[in-house]
Amino acid sequence: MTSFLQRIITGEVSLEEYSDTEKERLLYKLLSDLPSSSILKIKQFIKGSNHDTITKSQRAFGKIVHRDSLIPIPNLSLELWDRDPFGGKDYLGSTETDESGNFEILYDPKLAGFGDLPDLQLKIFDPPQTVYIDGKKSQVRNLIEVKNGSDNVIGDYDFGVVQILYYEYDSEYKLFPYSLPDSIRHDFTPEAEVITTKSVAKYGLVMDALIQRNRRNPNEPSYDEIQKSFPETLTLILEKERPGYTRSDEFFGEKMLNGFNPVIFKKDKNNPSLYTTAFNGDKFTLTGKIDLPNYKVKFELKDGKLLPIEITLQFREDNCLQPNSPLKAPQTYTPADGKKWLQAKRVVRATHLGVLGEVKGHLAQCHFNMEQYAIAFFRNIRKNPIRGFLYPHIKEVVHINKFGRKILMDPKEGFFAKLEPMLINPDMLQWVRTSMGTYDWTDWQPRKPLSENHTFAKLGNLYWDILTTHVDSFFATHQEEIVNNWSEILNFSNELVQNSVPYLPLSLEQVDDGDQWYDLNEIEHSSNPRQEINGELKAVRPITASAQPTEQEIANLKQVCKYVIYQCTFWHSWIHNEHNPEFGELKYGDLLTNGSMGDEDDESVLPGRQTASIILAVSHMLTNFKYGYILKNEDGDVPPDLIELIQSKKAEFEQLGFDLTNLRSRLNS
C-alpha cells in the first residue's frame, strides 16, 4: 500500500478539496493496491456517508456444489459485487461457504450507488496462499469462477444451487484417479508454462524434421545423425574421457544402485550374499515394436562396489504377442562370455531404463501416484493449515499430467500417436494401475543403504530427516488449527481411499521368485488394516476415521505430508536429474527389437529411426525443464523454514555429490 493511500485511509489527507471527478479518478488509480474492505471505506468517505450508517438490509444466498456429484464444497471464499455499466463494479460483501456448501451475504443495496439497484455478481475464490517476494510476506488468491445473478435486484436474492467444475474425477479414466482437464481451477505458473512450451517446441521441431526426412527416405537419417541432433549426454562425454567405462560392470552396477531408476534389490534365496533384480514381461500384450524379455541379474558386493556376475534372459517364441505366450529356453550369461555379456547388459538396460524406469518409476510412482493425492487435496482442504503447507509441492501435478496427456498420449496429436502401433505395450496404463496398487503412505520411508557407495539411499535418508524436522515443527506451531479443521482431513482421507485403486501385493511385472527384499522401507509391509469399499480392498489406507483426531491419526497426517513432499521433490528430482545422463544415448539405453542380442553397431535390433527420434526428443523436451526449485523458490511459496533446513545440510549433500540447486520444489515436469 502506498504511503499516500495510507494517509487517506487514516484521515491525515482530506478528500474534501477534490472535485467529484477528481475523486473518482483518484479512486480508480489506487484500486489495485487496496483490499476490498479498504475500498469500501474510501468509497463511503468519498460519497460523504459514514461507514457506521450502512444498513445490511438485503441478503444474497445459495449453495455451491461439485457439478459431477452435487457434493457440497465448504470453505470457499465468496465476494458479492454490483455490476456497473462499462465494466465498473461495487463491492457489496463477502463470506465463506459452510460445511453444507451454503452461503449467505448480507449487504446494503445503497452501496450500488445513488439511484442504482444492484446487478449482482458472485465471485468464487480458493483460499489465499502465502508467498514471500523479496523477503516480504503477502497473500495471493485464485479466482475460481464468476456467477452473474439478476439485474436490478430488489429484496433478497437466491443464487440457487451453483454447480461448478472443481477438480472432478475424469469418468473416462477408469483405471486410476485422473482429474477432468476442464475442472482444474488454477493456472500453471505462467513462467513454468512458457519454459515447458518452449522446450517442447524446440525439440519437437527437431523430431519432426528427422521423422519427415525418414518418411522421404527410410534409410535416413543415420542413427549417428539422430544422436547428434540432440545435446551430448553423460555417457557420450564419459566415453570420450574413458573409453569403455560406461559399458563396464562397475558402471552397470553403479547405475543400478544410484542411477535413473535405482533398484530396490532382493537377496538371492540360494546365496544371501548375492543381490538380485528381475523383470517379468509374461503378462504384457506386445505390439511387435519392441522386445520385452524376462531378466534376472545377480550382483556381488566387492570392495564396496556392486558388480553384476550373472544375467539370465528369457524371450518369447517368435511372433508371440499375447500374454502368457510360449517362451524360449532361458539363456544365462557371465562376464566370461565377452561380447554376449555386453549384449546381455544392454538388453537389461533397455528394459530397465526405457520401460521399467519410465512407466513404473516415473509415470506411476511420481505422476499418477501423486495425482490421486492432489485431486483429493484440492477438493477438500482449504481452511486447514495443511493447505498452505503442501500446496507449493503439489500445486502443478494435475497440470503437468494434463499437459503430458495431451502432448504425449493424445490419440491424434500426441507424439506417441506417431508410432503406430504404440511403442510401449498396450498394457501400459494397466501396468500403472497395478503399480499404484502396491503404493501406500503407511510406514513408508527411504530404503536403507546397501553399501557405502549407495549414495541415493544416503541422500534419501538425509532428506527424509530434514522433512521429519520440517513437518514436526509445522505441526508444533499449527496443531490446534489443524485439529479445529480436522473435518477437511477426514473428507480428504475418505475421498483418497474411496478413489484409490485396489490393493495388489505384486505389480504386473513382478513375480514371487522366492528371493527376499534386502530392505522393506519402500515395500508394502505395514500391518495396519486397509479399507474395503464395494468389495475392493483399497491400496491407500485411511489417514483418519473420526471428526476429532487421535494422536495416531495426527501422526498419520504427518507421515502423509512427508510422503507427498518426498515424492514430489526429491524422488522426482532424482528421476529428472538422472534421466538424460543414461537414457540420452541410443546405443547405451535405446529400446530393442528382433531378439535384442546384437552389438551396438547392429542396427537390426534397433526399433527404427522414427522411434529413436521420438525417444530422444521426448526425453530432452520433458527433462530440460528448468523451473521450480526449492532454493531458487521462483514463486516465493516454499516455506522459508524448509529452505533454511536444507541449506543447513548443504555440506552433507555436497559430500554425497548432490547439487542442491537441482532439488525441485514440486512435481511439474
Q: Does residue 483 sit in the same domain as residue 373? A: yes
State whether 508 and 547 are in the same domain: yes
Residue 340 lies in a domain: no
Is residue 433 in some structural domain? yes
In a domain, 240, yes or no: no
Task: Round to whole Å and give the CA distance between 325 and 31.
Answer: 70
- Give the CATH number of the domain where residue 571 resides: 1.20.245.10
**Are residues 70 and 190 part of one domain?**
no
pLDDT digits (tens, 9 = 90+) for 509-555: 999 999 999 999 999 999 999 999 999 999 999 999 999 999 999 99
pLDDT at 549: 97
Do 571 and 626 share a domain, yes or no? yes
CA distances 144 to 79, 90, 128, 185, 261, Å, are 12, 19, 12, 6, 38
Which residues lie closer than 8 Å to 96 by C-beta, 6 or more apart? 74, 75, 76, 77, 78, 103, 383
3-state helix, strand, coil in the chain (%, to 5): 45, 15, 40
Q: Is residue 216 part of a domain?
A: no
- 133 in the same domain as 49: no
* pLDDT number for residue 130: 85
Grid cell in block for residue 193: 508454462
User: Is 175 buried (19+), middle (13-18) or exposed (0-12) by CB count in 10 A?
Assistant: middle
Could you identify the residue written with the cell 557405502? 452
Distance CA(109)–CA(181), nearest Å, equals 38
Q: Could you tell me the three cell numbers for 170? A: 475424469
Could you tell me which of 490, 464, 503, 504 has the C-alpha nearest to residue 556? 490
Q: Which residue has the cell 541410443?
A: 586
| One domain for residues 408 and 473 | yes
Cβ(471)–Cβ(558) below 8 Å: yes
**Phi, psi of 65, deg, nearest 5:** -135, 165
**For the purposes of burial, counting CB atoms within 10 Å of the CB of 226, is it exposed (0-12), middle (13-18) or buried (19 or more)?**
buried
Contacts of 412 (CB under 8 A, 6+ apart): none
Domain encompassing residue 6 = 1-53
Q: Are residues 397 and 458 in the same domain?
A: yes
In a domain? residue 617: yes
How far does the chain reach from its first CA to its final CA, in angstroms? 36
Q: Could you tell me if residue 384 is inside a domain? A: yes
Dist CA 333 CA 637 (whole Å): 52
The CATH number of the domain where 93 resides is what?
2.60.40.10
Taking 50 as the pLDDT cut, the residues of the chain under it are 1-4, 10, 18-19, 21-22, 24-25, 28-29, 32, 45-52, 420-423
Determine contact, residues 594/288, Cβ cutoff 8 Å: no
Q: Does residue 275 lie in a domain region?
A: no
What predicted TM-score, i.e. pTM, was given to this entire model? Answer: 0.90
190 and 45 within one domain:
no
pLDDT at 1: 40
Is 310 domain-assigned? no
- How does strand 58-66 pair with strand 157-164? parallel
Total domains in the chain come to 3
Residue 548 shares a structural domain with residue 455? yes
CA–CA–CA angle 36, 38, 41 (5° rounding): 115
Residues 489 and 575 in one domain: yes
Q: Are residues 11 and 100 in the same domain?
A: no
Residues 87 and 27 in one domain: no
